[in-house]
Amino acid sequence: MITIMQPTLESLLRPGARAHLVGIGGVSMSTLAEVLRESGAAVTGSDVKRNEATERLSALGIPVTIGHFADSVRGADFIIRTAAVPDGNAEIAEAGSLGIPVFERADAWGHIMRSYRDAVCVAGTHGKTTTTSMLAHILVAAGADPTVMVGGTLACLGAGSGYRVGRGDVIVLESCEYADSFLKFRPTLAVILNVDADHLDYFTTLENVKASFAKFAALVPEGGFIVCNADDPNTMAALYSRESPVPPGRELLTFGFTPGSAVRGETEKRSGMGSSFDVLYDERLYCRVKLKIPGHHNVMNALAAAAASAALGLPGSAVEDGLSDFTGAGRRFEFKGRINGADVYDDYSHHPTELRALFDTALALPYERVVAAFQPHTYSRTSRHLTEFAEQLRRPAKTYLAPIYAARETNACGVTSEDLSREIPGSAVCRTLDEMTDALAREARPGDLIITAGAGELDLVGAELVRRGARLI
């Protein structure tokens, strides 16, 4: 029997080769499309619908087809798909029949990072985008000229951009655990922010999530660093597990406010929309951080970024300078504007732990009321965490719910936003985004903080509210 070996991605990624990206409108995929184009590849792509990313790519001259059609892959040298694209997708099936090699997004990023001396992979159930963005600021301040891939937009990378291609020898990128995709990465420095029960449609149990993060940490080569959250019991349990021990020769550099942390925060002070704290490295002052964004969760993100910076040998002054002008990443408690005297913010929170941090932050600010609009993300997550979601969504003065954003799923659970609403006294379900916008516009009054939250399309509601508010001025 003759076995035909699929060519490696390394052999195919050459100038002029045509790469077709299935699911090109996703944050990481659209960034990858631009990076591949910068390297000389001819890039095309497809997605189920238009969004800001597909419009941006089209404006850059990257052809994007809306809808998945077999014809789209013909002539491609290789295909890259997201983990959410099934084998039964028309383009993936056609690629198989034509013998066109198919790789996942993580394969491409794993290949790209091999050419850098330092590959910093930021992982964790929560906080990846913000921490990666903070590290980008710090590395730029240090003059490292890094390459960056972040799962959102960041002002210092250019308007509407989530990536930067530098000439330095450091790459920093957000590393997602879903479907074990980060296990295809090649980190020399792995950052683990926290480990929580999420993506259980894939992992099924928290123990499986922990095991995946332990495998991710084990990817670090001998002599590399694993920066990990000493304040998070799940992270510590994952890395010190007997079942999945991290191989020797990798330094575990802990961060947190826990006594004994290698990189320790102390004297945290909050003031308005910001905070300050000292960072000790091996019990000596490393830097004094002043943040312009609120919330203890962002203090922890900054502490993780400082720990990674220490592992890279960067001076504390670069951490101070890089974080002093950091005002947040896109869709991370992002101020959008005003309507009827109310301030409108948008946030990506789509897990109960993230909502808890979001409302802890919002409710500590000097507003008369917090009004929340939430779009649940995936049926499986909503069903598994219904009680926890309801617990957090009772905290605002008023909560509006959009229909569940299906993403990659069908509603096998039979769960709806109405089920969640029944657990939240005084809440209301809006059937469409237009209906949600109208309801929030009627609700808004001076002294309110209106927050739109979710990983789906609810940011469109915030943007429309602000447009209406501008017309009223």
**What pLDDT digit, counting tens, does each position of 244-284 carry?**
667 888 889 999 999 999 999 999 999 889 999 999 999 99
Residues 344 and 415 in one domain: yes
pLDDT at residue 159 is higher than 70: no
Residue corresponding to tokens 């300078």: 321
Q: Is residue 2 part of a domain?
A: no
- Residue 193: which CATH number? 3.40.1190.10
pLDDT at residue 160 is higher than 80: no
Residues 91 and 158 in one domain: no
Mean pLDDT, the chain, rounded, equals 94
The number of folded domains in the chain is 3
Residues 98 and 182 in one domain: no
Q: Which amino acid is at 303?
A: L
User: Given 52, 83, 104, which residue is the final one in a domain?
Assistant: 104
Name the pLDDT band for 470 (thresholds 50, 70, 90). confident
Q: Say what the pLDDT of residue 1 is.
A: 41
Residues 195 and 283 in one domain: yes
Residues 269 and 353 in one domain: no
Structure tokens at 406: 């299906």
Residues 319 and 181 in one domain: yes
Q: Say what the pLDDT of residue 473 is.
A: 57
3-state secondary structure string across 361-424: HHHCCCCCEEEEEECCECHHHHHHCHHHHHHHHCCCCEEEECCCECCCCCCCCCCCHHHHHCCC
pLDDT at residue 170 is higher than 80: yes
Give how far Cα 360 sits from Cα of 244, 295, 370, 394, Å: 34, 7, 11, 13
Q: Say what the pLDDT of residue 177 is.
A: 95
pLDDT at residue 164 is higher than 90: no
User: Given 270, 300, 324, which residue is the final one in a domain?
Assistant: 324
Residues 309 and 341 in one domain: no
Q: At residue 147, what are phi and psi to the nearest 5 degrees?
A: -95, 135
Is the C-alpha dihedral spanning 183, 123, 331, 401 positive or negative? positive
**What pLDDT digit, counting tens, does each position of 107-117 carry?**
999 998 998 99
pLDDT at residue 22 is higher than 90: yes
Helix (H) or strand (E) holding 94: helix 90-98
Residues 41 and 170 in one domain: no
Q: Is residue 127 part of a domain?
A: yes
Percent of the chain with pLDDT over 70: 97
Q: Is residue 7 part of a domain?
A: no
Q: Say what the pLDDT of residue 153 is.
A: 77
- Residue 79: which CATH number? 3.40.50.720
pLDDT at residue 241 is higher than 90: no
Task: Give the distance from CA 249 to its chain's centroid.
Answer: 29
Q: Note the residue count of the chain.
A: 473
Q: For residues 186 and 61, give the distance between their C-alpha atoms in angstroms, rounded to a whole number.
A: 31
Higher-confidence residue of 35 and 145: namely 145
**Region label for 138, one of left (φ > 0), alpha (ψ between -120 and 50) or beta (otherwise):** alpha
Residues 261 and 367 in one domain: no
pLDDT at residue 10 is higher than 90: no
Structure tokens at 380: 């499986």
Name the pLDDT band for 31 (thresholds 50, 70, 90). confident
Find the domain containing 373 and state its range: 334-472
Using alpha carbons, select from 49, 53, 89, 54 the residue that is nearest to residue 72.
89
Residue corresponding to tokens 């999945």: 244
Q: Say what the pLDDT of residue 5 is.
A: 62
Q: Which amino acid is at 311?
A: A
- The SS3 call for residue 115 is coil
Q: Is residue 109 part of a domain?
A: no
pLDDT at residue 123 is higher than 50: yes
Residues 238 and 384 in one domain: no
Half-sphere exposure of 251 (CA within 13 A, CB side): 14
Residues 46 and 81 in one domain: yes
Residues 97 and 123 in one domain: no
Number of CB atoms found within 10 A of residue 435's CB: 15
Core vs surface per residue 233-246: b (16+ CB within 10 A) or e: ebbbebbeeeebeb
User: Given 265, 295, 324, which residue is the final one in a domain?
Assistant: 324
Higher-confidence residue of 135 and 159: namely 135
**Which residues are CB-neighbours of 239 under 8 A, at least 6 positions away?**
192, 213, 214, 217, 226, 228, 246, 252
pLDDT at residue 55 is higher than 80: yes
**Which residues are CB-neighbours of 434 under 8 A, at least 6 positions away?**
none
What is the pTM assigned to this prediction? 0.90
What does the pLDDT average to over 436-458? 97
Q: Is residue 120 part of a domain?
A: yes
Higher-confidence residue of 159 and 105: namely 105
pLDDT at residue 154 is higher than 90: no
Q: Is residue 97 part of a domain?
A: yes
**What pLDDT digit, counting tens, does each position of 194-234 carry?**
999 999 999 999 999 999 999 999 999 999 999 999 999 99
Structure tokens at 210: 């922990």
DSSP string, 276-345: EEEEEETTEEEEEEEESS--HHHHHHHHHHHHHHHHTT--HHHHHHHHHT----TTSSEEEEEETTEEEE
pLDDT at residue 380 is higher than 90: yes
Q: Is residue 199 part of a domain?
A: yes
Q: Say what the pLDDT of residue 27 is.
A: 78
Q: Is residue 8 part of a domain?
A: no
Q: In the beta sheet, which residues pair with residue 451?
A: 345, 372
What does the pLDDT average to over 447-472? 94
**What pLDDT digit, counting tens, does each position of 395-423 carry?**
999 999 999 999 889 999 999 999 999 99
Helix (H) or strand (E) holding 248: none
Longest dimension (CA), the chain: 75
